[in-house]
Amino acid sequence: MSNLTSTSAVGPHGPTASPASRMATRGPRLGGLVWLIWRQHRAGFWTVLAATAFSVAFIAYQRTGLMDDLAAHGWPDAAPDKWMEGALPYASRFQMVGYGLGFIPILLGVFLGAPLLAGDLESGTAKLVSSQSVSSSRWLAAKLGISALVVIVCTAALSVTFGWWWEPVRKQSQILAWSEGSAFDNTGPVPVALALFTVVGGVAIGMLLRRTLISMVVTFGFAVVVQVVWHYQRQNLGQVTTITTSKGIGDTSFPSLPEAAFEIDRSFVSGSGQTYGWGTCVRETSEKVCIQKYDIVGWSVDYLPISQMSIMQWLGASILFALTAAVVVFVFIRARKRIV
């Protein structure tokens, strides 16, 4: 074989691999703009990935303990009132972990989103990039793309793991009601959508303010507002179901709701179909007088069944994804006009 076609070279200690062979054995490596951005923000990215790995491991450990305790009390063959004793100690743990996960979009927005562009604009790195062969749009796309990938992977992993832990007791409101933020906002697509919107919002704020510290402060306020608005609008994502009765208002006449249903409101129903607030009879001298006065014949109860949870989550996530896309478009348009 000629030297031109040989794939190896002879060194002082025998044949050695060619440079191409050595590169092949190393496997795929980051390069170019992707490598540069990863290296620039590697501390933040690795912190997020490490915290996610720790959280996933902790939740998986809690799931193992929950299943052992449930099985010891007869789950899943026994009735819920039999194995509930094994699940009740986990109610506070679900709440604690759920509250902790609820802060993740805020933390990602403040510490990952806000400094992403603000730091480069403040330090002058953005001006240096604009003088190179890489276009500002490509640089911005790489920054947003890598950050979004990290956010999606981490929040999706936490969502799947938390939902896996909660699944055996998801219909038991005494443990964790599906309508609570600790359950609704930490499962399905909601964590990903909330985190992405908050992070991209932080990026836009950083691009406009061009100062890292003030951008982080403003992003914190923005993230808190997003959480508050989401909290109050969450129930509006569902289709309210109403059930009425005509058997009086005694203790045994209250309608039976589906398992794990979230009751929104209850009221009295008159013979003509008119409804009165459930506190109407409090102002009357007796319940009998109240029933005669308002011709009350039964109850009217508004509720959301647990079967709507997934639909509500995807509807809300779709709205957040649309808002995120709008902010991304704004960032690119703004960047093309004035990035330095």
Tell whether 95 is covered by a domain.
Answer: yes
Nearest-CA neighbor of 158 among 194, 203, 198? 194
Is 266 in the same domain as 277? Answer: yes
Rounded distance between C-alpha atoms, residue 249 and residue 291, angstroms: 9
**C-alpha pair distances (Å), 320 with each of 22, 55, 92, 313, 333:** 46, 25, 29, 11, 20
Alpha helices, H only, 73-172: 80-87, 91-102, 104-108, 114-123, 125-130, 136-166
In 185-304, alpha helices (H) = 190-209, 212-233, 287-294
From 162, 147, 132, select the one nearest 60 (Cα to Cα): 162
| Predicted local confidence at residue 338, as pLDDT | 63
**How many C-beta neighbours within 10 Å does residue 236 have?**
10
Q: How many residues does the chain have?
A: 340
Rounded to 5 degrees, what are φ and ψ at 90? -90, -5
In a domain, 23, yes or no: no
Q: What is the mean pLDDT of residues 206-221?
A: 95
d(CA 205, CA 226): 14
Q: What are phi and psi of 301, to 5 degrees?
A: -125, 130
Q: Is residue 141 part of a domain?
A: yes
CA distances to 23, 95, 288 from 105, in Å: 39, 17, 53
The reply to whether 164 and 181 lie within a common domain is: yes
pTM: 0.85
Residues 111 and 213 in one domain: yes
Q: Are residues 261 and 174 in the same domain?
A: no
Residue 178 within a domain? yes
Q: Once rounded to an integer, what is the mean pLDDT over residues 81-108?
A: 93
Judge if 327 and 265 occupy the same domain: no
Q: Is residue 159 located within the same domain as residue 209?
A: yes
Q: Are 257 and 313 found together in one domain?
A: no
Residues 6 or more apart from 113 whose CB is under 8 A from it?
147, 198, 199, 200, 201, 202, 203, 205, 206, 219
Same domain, 330 and 291: no
Q: What pLDDT, in 10s, does the model give residues 7-60?
A: 444 445 545 545 444 444 454 455 568 888 888 889 999 999 999 999 999 999
pLDDT band at 77 (very low <50, low <70, confident <90, very high): confident
Same domain, 183 and 69: yes
The confidence band for 300, taking pLDDT boundaries of 50, 70 and 90, is very high
Query: Among the listed ranges 3-17, 70-84, 325-339, which one has the minimum average pLDDT value?
Result: 3-17
Judgement on whether residues 133 and 266 belong to the same structural domain of the protein: no
Contact in structure between 243 and 303 (CB atoms under 8 Å): yes
- Would you state the structure tokens that stand for residue 144, as one six-digit string? 């947003």
- Are both 245 and 109 inside the same structural domain? no
Question: Is 211 found in the same domain as 331?
Answer: yes
Residue 101 domain-assigned (yes or no)? yes
Residue 21 lies in a domain: no
User: Does 70 reside within a domain?
Assistant: yes
Domain that holds residue 292: 241-306
State how beta strands 241-244 and 262-270 pair: unpaired
Residue 66, domain member (yes or no): yes
Residue 133 pLDDT? 64
Residue 221 has a pLDDT of 97
Collapsing DSSP states into helix, strand and coil, what is residue 56?
Answer: helix
The count of structural domains within the chain is: 2
Residue 134 has pLDDT above 80, yes or no: no
| Both tokens assigned to 45 | 């990215």
